[in-house]
Amino acid sequence: MKRDQVIFDLIAKEENRQKTGIELIASENFTSKQVMEAAGSVLTNKYAEGLPNKRYYGGCEVVDEIEQLAIDRAKELFGANWANVQPHSGAQANAAVFLACLNAGDPILGFDLSHGGHLTHGSPVNFSGKLYQPHFYGVEEETGLIDYDKVEAKALEVKPKLLICGASAYSRDWDYERLRDIADQVGAILLADISHPSGLIAKGLLNDPLEYCHVVTTTTHKTLRGPRGGLILMREDFDNPFGLKTPKGELRKMSSLLDSGVFPGTQGGPLEHIIAAKAVAFQEALSDEYMEYVLQVKKNASVMAEEFVSLGYKLISGGTDNHLMLIDLRNKDITGKLAEETLGKVDITINKNMVPFDTRSPFVTSGMRVGTAAVTTRGLNEVDMKKIVGFIDKALSNHDNESTLAEIKKEVNDWMVQFPLY
């Protein structure tokens, strides 16, 4: 077969983009070579519907071993007693949990997308908002923080069957103990979607959701630094509280419902090449080296936040406890869209983001979200964070000055090649 040079040239171009730019998208990271090697392996050829040692296909002896290792390492990493490593993505992991815990039309309560939540937590454009009855809590306008008394009041009002915490753009830690108390008052299952901070949680740098939440989901590619994918975890298995039955009418444990929620509920064959890459990433995350990495991610984010504040930027909630920050650009007289475009011109990648109580559309927005997971993998430290904020401030203040932007881009490119990637 002729080599598809068109695609491989484009991959080389993307590799160069990643190498020469500053990556600040909070949900991105750079995996290790061995993670990519596993993801690009012959395992992509294998069908393996079912679970290790309970498959619907022959020839699964090797992938059974691989998937079992991935499960065992995930459990060790998070102190979980049960894990499903098959979800193709974070959205798929959440879909499987919803299917396992709810009937169509059931009320759910999640963190508002426009305040930092995720689409899969009840947005009307997503399955979660279309198939279930979504309700939301948000942050306070003055503080940018979640007021748990208000979450409780909302839960008592709407009586959700599933209470969801976790976010895509919330820079503060969560009070899982309080949320469990709220969930118990209304008989809800408590789901924590820790897609963003899961790497920091795994190493004990943030509160532990597994201690209080019935079910935990995460992506594997953000702070966790694995391949693109999803993961579902529980510390303890439990009887489903709503008497949910299988199609055959059997009452089942939550672990069994969750497994079925993934396959056959929302997916077909698992991606064993990605599961192998997850296993590699979990092993890496169990190391002391990864502990140093997440400590640096957190330090970098905190220094970056302080630097933005010192230059007059308004951070939602005033700072960060994790790897990301949400910046309200309204006092800087620039939209999120223009900020993203301007920084793109100097090879700094961020994403525009709605801020709480935003009056602009999601295509324009008044804010930007910035994270330190990727630049920390690259080897950048606190001093470098100040330099990055300097570049950002200079670019945004000169967004209509193409020659200044070209100078900044050159500086960025010359600087980043000093931090080799792959």
Binding-site residue set for (6S)-5,6,7,8-tetrahydrofolate: 113, 117-119, 361-363
- Residues with Cβ within 8 Å of residue 112, at least 6 apart in sequence: 136, 137, 138, 356
Q: Whose CB is nearest to ligand PLP?
A: 90
Q: Give the residue with the Cβ less far from ligand PLP, 73 or 221.
A: 221
Of 154, 159, 228, 299, the catalytic one is: 228
- Residues 86, 120, 255, 366: which binds ligand PLP (CB under 6 A)? 120
Nearer to ligand PLP, 160 or 230 (CB): 230
Q: Which is nearer to ligand PLP, 170 or 293 (CB)?
A: 170
Of the listed pieces 34-42, 99-107, 190-198, 404-412, which binds ligand PLP according to CB under 6 A? 190-198
DSSP letter string, 293-358: HHHHHHHHHHHHHHHHHHTT-EEGGGS-SSSEEEEE-GGGT--HHHHHHHHHHTTEE-EEE--TT-
Contact predicate 26/370, CB 8 Å: yes
Phi, psi of 314 (to 5 degrees): -100, 115
49 is catalytic: yes
Residues paired with residue 222 on neighbouring β-strands, in sequence order: none
Q: Candidates 83-91, 139-147, 262-270, 277-285 — which segment interacts with ligand PLP by CB under 6 A?
A: 83-91
Residue nearer to ligand PLP on the CB measure, 84 or 342: 84
Known catalytic residue at 2: no
Site string for ligand PLP, 212-231 (x = CB under 6 A): -------x----------x-
Looking at the Cβ atoms of 195 and 342, the one nearer to ligand PLP is 195
Decide whether 99 or 405 has the Cβ nearer to ligand PLP: 99
Among positions 67, 112, 193, 272, the unique one binding ligand PLP when judged by CB under 6 A: 193
> What whole-number distance in Å separates Cα of residue 236 and Cα of residue 183?
16
Number of residues interacting with ligand PLP: please give it, by CB under 6 A.
Answer: 14
Is residue 89 at the binding interface for ligand PLP, with CB under 6 A as the rule?
yes
- 61-78 and 272-285 are packed helices; what angle lies between their axes, rounded to 10 degrees? 30
Query: Min. distance of Cβ 74 from ligand PLP in angstroms?
Result: 16
Q: What residues contact residue 221 under an 8 Å CB cut-off, 6+ apart? A: 27, 28, 29, 31, 227, 228, 229
Give min distance, CB of 85 to ligand PLP, in A.
14
Q: CA-to-CA distance for 332 and 341, rounded, in angstroms?
A: 15
Q: Which of 23, 67, 193, 259 is catalytic?
A: 193
Alpha-carbon span 321 to 301, nearest angstrom:
8
By CB under 6 A, name the one of 46, 118, 323, 369 that touches ligand PLP: 118
Cα distance between residue 76 and residue 227, in whole Å:
19
Which position among 70, 91, 303, 368 is part of the footprint of ligand PLP (CB under 6 A)? 91
| Alpha carbons 340 and 252: distance in angstroms, whole number | 48
Nearest to 378 by CA among 330, 421, 422: 421
Question: Of 293-322, which residues contact ligand PLP (CB under 6 A)?
Answer: none
Rounded to a whole number of angstroms, the minimum distance from the CB of residue 217 to ligand PLP is: 7
Q: What is the rounded CA–CA span in Å between residue 100 and residue 189?
A: 11
Catalytic residue check, 228: yes
Q: Tell me, what DSSP letter sits at residue 49?
A: -
Q: Which of 19, 20, 28, 49 is catalytic?
A: 49
Q: Is 307 noted as a catalytic residue in this protein?
A: no
Alpha helices (H) along 134-287: 148-158, 176-186, 198-202, 254-260, 272-285
Joined together, the tokens standing for residue 30 give 């750079």
Among 84, 126, 171, 195, binds ligand PLP (CB under 6 A): 195
Encoded tokens for 289: 């080296």
Q: Give kind and range of the element (H or E) at residue 231.
A: strand 230-234
Q: 150 catalytic, yes or no? A: no
Q: Which is nearer to ligand PLP, 226 or 230 (CB)?
A: 230
CB 283 → ligand PLP: shortest distance, Å?
21
Q: How far is the CB of 28 from ligand PLP (least distance, A)?
A: 10
Site for ligand PLP in 27-56 (CB under 6 A): 27
Binding residues: 113, 117-119, 361-363
- Choose the catalytic residue: 47, 148, 299, 332: 47
Residue 291, CB-side half-sphere exposure with 13 Å CA sphere: 6
Contacts of 404 (CB under 8 A, 6+ apart): 394, 395, 398
Binding site for ligand PLP (CB under 6 A): 27, 89-91, 118, 120, 166-168, 193, 195-196, 219, 230
Q: Which residues are catalytic?
A: 47, 49, 193, 219, 222, 228
